[in-house]
Structure formats: C-alpha cells, structure tokens
Amino acid sequence: MAKKSRPSISRAEWPLMEIVWEDSPLTAMDVTERAQLRSPKRPSPQTIKTLLGRLVRKGVLSYRQQGNRYLYSPAIKRAEYVTAESESFLQRIFMGAAGPLLAHFVNRTDLSAEEIARLRQLLDDKEAS
C-alpha cells in the first residue's frame, strides 16, 4: 500500500497557517488583518483569499460558512505537520541520521546558554531512557 502523501505548505502559505493554528476559527478578513500586521509586505486581501483557497484544496484548512463569510480552521495539527516535515527532511537530507543533523545545526547556529543547557538535558534524558 502506498504511503499517504502529506500536503506541502508553501513558504507563502506558512504564515497564514501559523495564524490559523494560533487562533481559530477565523474569517478571511481576520487572517488578512493579522497577516498584514506581521508582514512588512502587507499582503492584499485577494492574495490572502487565494492562499486560503489553496490551503483548503490541499486539505490542511477546513471552513464552514456562516452567513456570507467563511470561518477557517486547521484540518491538521501544527505538531503533526511539523513532525512529518521534520522526519521527511531528516530522511531526505541526512538519510535518517539524527547525529549529523544535530551537529550541522549546532555548528552553524548561535545558541544561548539556555538553549545549550536544554540540549544537554534532552541528550541526557535520551541517554537515560
């Protein structure tokens, strides 16, 4: 049986999904207002409606009609999507090997003392289990 494919959320669509994951249901106008506050490019209402329509067609957003407006809600949980995307990235780029992935990011990212302590704790917990 073929593995069910996960819909891809594009770079342009991601900020809208973040908005809907944070608070839903939302109208297209609600999403537009929040997106415009967050983005220096201030996307147009028509652009937002186009992207919302794409997300609905992909199955990551659902909607229900209320009068003459649509209320949008996530059809997939953020944590589920991030997990699937992360696993796909790990498989594609690092052939499933988490050690090289972690080393890559640790060596190329500025980490605060708190982040380093949290990583140490995660590794210690993993080793103990």
- Give the pLDDT score at 7: 85
Half-sphere exposure of 1 (CA within 13 A, CB side): 2
pTM, 2 dp? 0.81
Q: Is residue 11 over pLDDT 50?
A: yes
Q: How far apart are CA 20 and CA 86, in angstroms?
A: 20
Q: For domain 14-74, give the CATH number.
A: 1.10.10.10
Cis bond before residue 25 (omega within 30° of 0): yes
- Give the pLDDT score at 2: 42
* Contact assessment for residue 52 and residue 32, using Cβ atoms and an 8 Å cutoff: no
**Residue extents of the structural domains in the chain:** 14-74, 78-128
Q: Is residue 76 over pLDDT 70?
A: yes
